[in-house]
Each structure stands twice: as C-alpha cells, then as structure tokens.
Amino acid sequence: MSEAVSALNGASFAGLARVEETGLGGMITLRGDFTSAGFQAAVKAATGCAVPELRKITIADRGAVAWMSPDELLLLVDYAEAEAVTASLAEDLAGEHHMAVNVSDARACFTVSGAAAREVIAKVAPVDLAPGQFAPGDFRRTRFAQVAAAFWLDEADVFHIVCFRSVAAYMFNLLSTAAHPQAQVGVYS
C-alpha cells in the first residue's frame, strides 16, 4: 500500500496565533437514527464516546464524535484505524438503516492556538466567538471565507478545523493571513 501523506505535510505558521496542519486524521461519516439503541451502542464501540448533544463534540481517549446534523455524525479516530472501524460499524449496524463511510482521505485538519485564536477564526467565519458564546466542547459547521469547514474548541483552548482536502492550501493561506502579526484587531482581548 502507498504511503499516505497529508495535503500540506504539516505546514505551520506563527503569528497572532499558531496555525498548523495536523496531518492525517481518521474520519468516518455516520448517518442514522440517533435515538436507536443499536446506533448509540455502535458509536460507543467505535469511539468510546456517547452520541453528542446538538452542536457538541464528545471526546474520549480513543476518538471523538461530532454532531453534524440531526442524522449525521462525524467520527474521529486514528487514521490507521479508520478502515477497520468503518467495517465494524457496518457489522454492528447490519439490518439498521444507516450509512458509514471512511472519508479520511477527503479531508484536511488544522489547529489554531494561542491568545488570538478566537480573533483569527472570527475574522473568517460568521460565528459568534465571544468567550461565553463558543466554549470548549462546542462544534460548528460553517464556512471559512469561501470554503465549507467545521470546527471545535478543546479543553486546552485549541481550535480544531476540518475542511475538504482539495481546499487545504486555501485554508492554510486564509488562516495564516488572518493570523498575520500586523493584522491584530484585539476584539476579544
């Protein structure tokens, strides 16, 4: 099998905030009925996480689960495990109306961290990022300037961003421009 590499080989930029492409991430799109006990058990078995509440992400040691829409979750697992986890989901959910697809290679992952991280995201997404309005564990699908993206904030105040791999370079340039050292607005400081 060929050696998989991420879109930007871990490119990083340090400015108002630190922008980093975080390499390959395992990602599985899972659709189904959130209220089904079988569905909930399959999610738990795949990631160690419960089905998240509306617009939240649940994070455990083995993986994480994000709320994408009323019938869609994004499962985050180790890249090397994604194919096997997808297969076991299909087994666990056999007979139940669902869809599980390994989308890892269709995606790129970034982090934005540091004191001005909120401001950097707020410059490019139509989302209220005031500290009380967007908190650790919150998950949001939106657009970052001209491209679709999803992001969440972890307990260490690091923003994690997921977008399509085809727009990884755009995303990196966008975030780096927003984090340019001379581009401070100071709206949340």
Partner 1 sequence: MLILQCPYCGVTAEETELHAGGEAHLKRFGPGSSDDDFHDYLFMRENPRGIHLERWRHVSGCGKWFHAARCTQTLEVFGTYSAQTTEPPQQIKDAISAKRPGWSWRDVSG
Please report, as ranges, the residues that interact with partner 1 according to CB under 8 A.
54-55, 68-70, 72, 126, 140-143, 148
Beta carbon of residue 28, minimum distance to partner 1 (angstroms, whole number): 17
Identify the residue whose tokens are 């509440």: 53
Q: Which is nearer to partner 1, 141 or 165 (CB)?
A: 141
Question: 69 or 166: whose CB is closer to partner 1?
Answer: 69
Which residues, 6 or more positions from 74, have their beta carbon under 8 angstroms from its beta carbon?
Answer: 27, 28, 29, 30, 65, 66, 68, 150, 162
CB of residue 26 to partner 1, shortest distance in Å: 22
Using the minimum distance from each CB to partner 1, give the nearer residue, 53 or 83: 53
CB of 65 to partner 1, least distance (A): 16
164 and 91 in contact (C-beta within 8 Å)? no
For residues 169 and 15, what is the distance between their CA atoms, to the nearest angstrom? 17
Nearer to partner 1, 110 or 139 (CB): 139
- Cβ-contact 17, 117 below 8 angstroms: yes
